[in-house]
Amino acid sequence: MDVRLRYMDGIELEFQDFRVIFDPLKLKKGVDLFLISHAHSDHYSIPKSSYTSFEVYSSPETKDIIAARHGAAGWIREIRMGKPILFKDRYQVSAYPSGHMLGSRGFIIDNGDLRIAYTGDLNNRPSLSTLYDAAVPEDVDILIIEATYGHPNFRFGNSQQIWMEMIRWAASTVENGILACIKGYTAGKSQEVEAIFGLLTNIPIYPHPTVYRVNRVYEKYGVSYVMKNLVSNAQEAKLLVSPVQLKRWAGRKVLTASATGRILIDEGGFGFPLSSHADYPSLLRYIVSCRPKRVYTVFGYSESLAYAVNKKLKIPANQLTEHFSEISL
């Protein structure tokens, strides 16, 4: 079997006659297919006009979010769930939900001899804003999985409890006459925060303008609650949702809390471990359910997760590096 894999500005997968890059940070010639798992900017290349000549695919939702953030995404073609695309007559490529944010997908490439799945960023814990829960690509030969929180230190606990703690903090901040702000990524995390407050509270929310542009895409795809509590008059707001830290806003004092799993290692300052990634136990559980013959880990704590998969799950595992690994089963 002549198939190899590495991480170099994206996850490069090379068959003898078919080259694929998952989540490319650069587009380059000689590659047959580029697959974008989701619309976080560390998973795609900032658009250039020359990109129309490349075969780049994402979900329709991801394409729309990238367009909302960069003005246009005409260089991206769409791959839909349940509609696999055949390349070079024998490489079947299919997309499945990965639960990380609206439009996030994992991909399976199957050529009849080898079935390879790449998860992209993965979240198999409860979420209110992703539309689809993470699916499990069963019986894959090779699983390439993200390891952002692939270390035993990352155990987020009960999601609903985190939601309630965040709401209690915001309510008490508002009661003290201070404007509350929850800081998170423009796309994905901000909409999850809006959906949680929309479902469980009546607290009026004013989103940062960059967040609002992405909200409109969520609205287009029918994600409930994201827009429910939003106010267009900033003076009516009691909660801000913003990708940047704020101390004062429109003449009012602001108290900011971050929403990120990194809170658990004190890198995010004050906040809540509201993550759109699987934590360590969830990653291991997911790997078991995929029943892979071999695992490759990428991003974050990839070395730690590969070690755990080898030792605890007894499945051969390696972290991806910039050097090619020859795939063997």
Would you tell me how many other CB atoms lie within 10 Å of the CB of residue 14?
Answer: 18
Stretch that binds Zn ion, among 23-31, 47-55, 119-127, 296-304 (CB under 5 A): 119-127
Would you tell me how many other CB atoms lie within 10 Å of the CB of residue 141?
Answer: 18
> Residue 296 in 3-state DSSP?
strand
- Answer for the pair 66, 222: CB distance below 8 angstroms, yes or no: no
How many residues make contact with Zn ion (CB under 5 A)? Answer: 2
Q: State how far the alpha carbon of 299 is from the alpha carbons of 91, 133, 231, in Å.
A: 26, 22, 37
The separation between CA 236 and the C-alpha centre of its own chain, rounded to angstroms, equals 32
Question: Amino acid identity, residue 273?
Answer: P
69 binding Zn ion? (CB under 5 A): no
Stretch that binds Zn ion, among 8-16, 51-59, 113-121, 147-155 (CB under 5 A): 113-121
- Residue 121 or 192: which CB sits closer to Zn ion? 121
Closest CA to 115 of 296, 320, 292: 292
Task: Give the residue nearest to Zn ion (CB).
Answer: 40
- Residue 45 or 111: which CB sits closer to Zn ion? 45
Least distance from C-beta 273 to Zn ion, angstroms?
16
> Residue 122 in 3-state DSSP?
coil
Least distance from C-beta 321 to Zn ion, angstroms?
21
194 binding Zn ion? (CB under 5 A): no
On the CB side of 329, CA atoms within 13 Å amount to 13
Least distance from C-beta 143 to Zn ion, angstroms?
18
121 binding Zn ion? (CB under 5 A): yes
Least distance from C-beta 229 to Zn ion, angstroms?
25
What tokens does 25 get? 């940070």
- Answer for the pair 90, 179: CB distance below 8 angstroms, yes or no: no
User: How wide is the angle at C-alpha 84 spanned by C-alphas 81 and 86, nearest 5°?
Assistant: 160
- Residue 14 or 121: which CB sits closer to Zn ion? 121
Which alpha helices (H) appear in 245-301, and where do they start and end?
280-290
Least distance from C-beta 185 to Zn ion, angstroms?
8
- Answer for the pair 143, 117: CB distance below 8 angstroms, yes or no: yes
- Residue 184 or 206: which CB sits closer to Zn ion? 184
Least distance from C-beta 242 to Zn ion, angstroms?
18
Q: Roughly how many angstroms between the first and final C-alpha of the chain, as a whole number?
A: 9
Stretch that binds Zn ion, among 9-17, 36-44, 255-263, 303-311 (CB under 5 A): 36-44
- Residue 91 or 286: which CB sits closer to Zn ion? 286
Stretch that binds Zn ion, among 91-99, 116-124, 142-150, 299-307 (CB under 5 A): 116-124
40 binding Zn ion? (CB under 5 A): yes
Least distance from C-beta 277 to Zn ion, angstroms?
7
Q: Can you give the binding site for Zn ion, defined by CB under 5 A?
A: 40, 121
